[in-house]
Amino acid sequence: MLKKVEQNRDLWELFTKKEEYNAALLDKYGRFPYYLSRQRNVFEPEVSEFLLKNGLNPEYPEGKKFAVCLTHDIDFVYIDTLNTAARTVKALKRGQFAEASMLPFSRINKTWNPLWNFRRIMDLEEKYGAKSTFYFLTLDPGNEDFTFSIEELEGELGYILEEGWEVGLHGGHEAYNNLIEIKKKKQKLEKVLGEKVMGYRNHYLRFKTPETWELLADAGFSYDSTFGYHDCAGFRNGMCHPFKPYNLKTGKEINILELPLTIMDTTLFQSQMRLDFEHAWALTEMLILTVERCRGVLTVLWHNTYMQGEYLVFYKKLLQHCSEKGAWMAPGIQICNWWKEEYDSQG
């Protein structure tokens, strides 16, 4: 089917992201941002629409209309001292005396810690018939952004797996461009987990096209879910379906599946978009409708740090809306395995 896309030069260059190869301008994290792209139609999955017109016909389990890949990047599991003090003061001002008394001791009693919330997230998703993927950092002391040791979470990781959710690797700052680092962090997570880790997303969405895909394939991952713009929601290469990337340098497909990232919480509310809740929901609803129309996969990243206040209300609204639309809401590895079967059957 890719042969048909290859015959359309504009779509082929969009699909392969030719403009990102050896890009001269990148941001301070080595990322290719949307604002530097020639692509101006990021909210329309042009390549997926072309594929649908040319024979792609995905049918999801149990007759579901489209799929939603729910994911959470776990960068923090503790509140730092300053944030704990600030939260305690706010709780006192609101008259929430029980919360105010628990916060200072949240490192001792994990159930009082608002960021040790994996089971609460799972309970919420279960109400809507959904399951998700948790991507965990496995940094070492001294690594940039080190805040916790993965060994501390062994019990939680086991619980997540036992209940049918997925544990994936959240690669640190340098992993996207370093095979040794990727393998080291993967092995560290697998040692704690006691199982192979098949799913990946890089910290800060750091990514180098097409090299990062090649490194992840060499490291033994089944799929990646990093490929989305950090500064704009939408469809980075015109795809709202999983795809095998194509390396223009080698002229070959890369042996890994990409579940392209569509929506990230910090992209909507921070980054360059800085939307209020009303406009963020209008955009989210439009993207859901677009993916539904294309019978595609909507990949959502909602950090565990955003599972509170109005951000939590927003996430609940997203779950309810997708549930009412009959979406298949599943972890990345389930979608990956299903798509590979479907892809093979359709050639």
Burial class (CB in 10 A: 0-12, 13-18, 19+), 343: middle
What was the pLDDT predicted at 272? 85
Closest CA to 136 of 120, 157, 155: 157
pLDDT in tens, the chain (347 residues): 677 888 899 999 999 999 999 999 999 999 999 999 999 999 999 999 999 999 999 999 999 999 999 999 999 999 864 343 333 334 344 443 333 333 343 454 566 689 999 999 999 999 999 999 999 999 999 999 999 999 999 999 999 999 999 999 999 999 999 999 999 999 999 999 999 999 999 999 999 999 999 999 999 999 999 999 999 999 999 999 999 999 999 999 999 999 999 999 999 999 789 999 999 999 999 999 999 999 999 999 999 999 999 999 999 999 999 999 999 999 999 999 999 998 765 54
Where in the chain are the domains? 2-77+115-346, 81-114
How many other C-beta atoms lie within 10 A of the C-beta of residue 98?
9
Counting beta carbons within 10 angstroms of the beta carbon of residue 267, is it exposed (0 to 12), middle (13 to 18) or buried (19 or more)? buried
CATH superfamily of 2-77+115-346: Glycoside hydrolase/deacetylase (3.20.20.370)
Q: Where are the extended beta strands (E) located within 128-266?
A: 133-136, 166-171, 199-202, 223-224, 246-247, 252-253, 257-258, 263-264
